[in-house]
Homo-oligomer: A and B are copies of this chain.
Amino acid sequence: MTKSVRIAVDCMGGDVGIPATIPASLAFLERNPQASLLLVGDTPQIEAALEGYKAQYAGADYSRVEIEHASEVVAMDDPVEVALRRKKNSSMRVAIEAVKSGQAQACVSAGNTGALMAISRYVLKTLEGIDRPAIATAMPNQKGGATTMLDLGANVDCTAEHLLQFAMMGTALAQTADTGRLPSVGLLNIGEEIIKGNEVVKQAAELLRASPLNFYGNVEGNDIFKGTVDVVVCDGFVGNVVLKSVEGLAHMLGSMIREEFYRSTLTKLAGLVVRPVLNRFRRRVDNRRYNGAALLGLRGIVFKSHGSADDYAFRHALQRAHDAVQAGVLDRIASTVVDLTRHQTGTK
């Protein structure tokens, strides 16, 4: 059964703003006939954009759109303090408050990550049993599925307990896509051949082994893309560096292959011949389809879109937030925490 889901959209956030968020919202409405949106930002600009895209998104039901005015915008380079203390009527904050008040079940923003995390923590608070929220995303893997990875930068110095909590939250998020099966969890570590892991990781492995989670054991960097496990857990420093490194490699390979095809008239012609093949490949690895990182551990669902997301990418972030609400991720995290506490105290 599909529940009716309502998502608050920070229409002004990110590098692009309205030219990305409004068409993405309309495309999302076309695809999700049960969903509705609360578009937050500068009302005149939003209204003008809705009018402008009307013909293009004829299938979008405008009656499922509501606008909430917000007079300020959190800039991409605003310090967290400015965003949190001085811009109380920012589109980001109003969107998060809509989740707090129950007007919406989730919020999506392409605005700056630090501000989004800080305001979300301040407005929504963390869930009982969770010390620190974490950022999780899905990465494509060789099995044709996706590997959920967290934390991606919210927590730099982590304890073993934090890593355990990340594993719980990642499990709850990964179950979204599945049907009941308990997702497997891998702890990111380094090769057996070298000195094995640091102290925190060793302790976390013990906690995970003793937990009711489906702990696979240690995994290495390449396992993310092999699809060895459903959820890969690491501290935010490692997660962020890995995420940026693989983005960097993908970008380099993309521009190198373009260079080869633009080398001469002959290679350009060859490029035309294989265009359909390369396009299929490009679609498979298009990271816009994986846009939308979840801020987990809060009393509400918040998704962060890539700052430079276009409408295609932003639509995927909306979809992810929608699917997380429908899968009841919030309740899942809460119940996982309860299970774990019972398990630890032996009152099960």
Contacts and interface: CB of A to CB of B under 8 A. Distances in A.
Interface in A187-222: 188, 190-191, 193-195, 197-199, 201, 220-222
A47 interface: no
A271 B278 CA distance: 10
A197 B277 contact: no
Copies of this protein in the assembly total 2
Interface string A236-278: 1110111111111111110111001101000100110110111
Interface residues of A, number: 66
B252 A253 contact: no
A252 B238 contact: no
Given A113-B193, A114-B193, A194-B114, A245 B222 contact: yes
A71 to B, nearest CB: 23
Given A156-B195, A194-B154, A248 B223 contact: yes
Interface of A: 76, 112-114, 117, 140-142, 153-157, 188, 190-191, 193-195, 197-199, 201, 220-226, 234, 236-238, 240-253, 255-257, 260-261, 263, 267, 270-271, 273-274, 276-278, 280-281, 284-285
Main secondary structure of the interface of A (DSSP, over half): helix
A194 B142 contact: no
Contact of A253 (B236, B240, B250): B250
Nearest to A307: B193
A257 B281 CA distance: 6
A261 to B, nearest CB: 6
Contact of A113 (B194, B237, B278): B194
6 contacts: A114-B193, A190-B240, A222-B248, A241-B242, A253-B253, A256-B281
B245 A221 contact: yes
A243 B261 CA distance: 28
A234 B240 CA distance: 13
Contact of A252 (B117, B193, B198, B225): B225
